[in-house]
Amino acid sequence: MPTMAESEGKDVIDLLKEEYPDVSGTALNYEKPMDLLVATILSAQTTDEQVNKVTPDLFEKYPSVEAYAEADLEKLQEAVNSVNFYRNKAKYIKKSAQRIVEEHDGKVPDRMEDMVELHGVSRKTANVVLSEAYNVHEGVVVDTHVMRLAQRLSLTEHEKREKIERDLMERYPRERWYEVSNMLIAHGRRICHARNPECERCVVRQRCPYYAELQEQGE
């Protein structure tokens, strides 16, 4: 862990990047853009670990966009029934695949405006797919970890997801947007938990207003 002197002047994202050199992208397993789209839809309110348990068989059973578009809905639901809200997610996947076939010649779109028109696809989901699969950076992935850490580290003063994303986009250059989300997500999962954050193990605690407030309360 860097000393206070070593961390002075460094941005918190740079410090987190030094702390997590193993983190470079999504923890979801995939090979093709459609795999990633499906996995990201499934990951809503479900851990990446659980999604990764489901997707190997799923990707083998449905190897293409067309396969999802033509899938029997009940069988698709059965294939993903270990994730939360699986019935709705299966519907989103099938309807999104149908739209991709009908409007995008079977290719997962690489533009934000097209992605968010797919069923079950929010800006967060679209940002993951665009950044990871296409290296297209249209925004910052703002999940619950990013929301929490951005607020604790005073990277934003807002509570709404879209305003937090805008603040992070204004603070960092486009080429760092995906890195910003990856670092905050990694730190949120490993150290800066919603409850009982491990502040004494935190590499950015000396730069953290939330930690400073905790210290004042403990005096």
pLDDT confidence tier of residue 5, bands split at 50, 70 and 90: very low
Interval 102-106 mean pLDDT: 97
Helices (H), 72-208: 73-79, 86-104, 112-115, 123-134, 144-152, 161-171, 177-190
Class of domain 4-23+140-218: mainly alpha
Q: What is the pLDDT of residues 183-209, one digit of tens each?
A: 999 999 999 999 999 999 999 999 999
Interval 158-180 mean pLDDT: 96
pLDDT reported for residue 10? 81
Phi then psi for residue 121, to 5 deg, are -110, 115
* pLDDT surpassing 50 at residue 69: yes
Whole-prediction pTM value?
Answer: 0.88
pLDDT reported for residue 193? 96
Report the alpha-carbon distance of residue 73 to residue 55 in Å, rounded: 16
Q: How many residues does the chain have?
A: 219
Interval 136-143 mean pLDDT: 95
Q: Which secondary structure element, helix H or strand E, spans residue 74, and what is its range?
A: helix 73-79
Contact 205, 199 (CB under 8 A): yes
75-79, 151-155, 175-179, 213-217: the lowest-pLDDT one: 213-217
pLDDT reported for residue 4? 41
pLDDT reported for residue 59? 98
pLDDT reported for residue 192? 97
pLDDT reported for residue 2? 47
pLDDT reported for residue 174? 95
Structure tokens that stand for 138 in this block: 């249209």
Higher pLDDT, 189 or 6: 189
pLDDT reported for residue 30? 97
The residue extents of the domains of the chain are 4-23+140-218, 33-134
Q: Which CATH superfamily, name and number, covers 33-134? A: Hypothetical protein; domain 2 (1.10.340.30)
* pLDDT surpassing 50 at residue 85: yes
* pLDDT surpassing 60 at residue 79: yes
pLDDT reported for residue 219? 53
Q: Calculate the average pLDDT of the chain.
A: 93
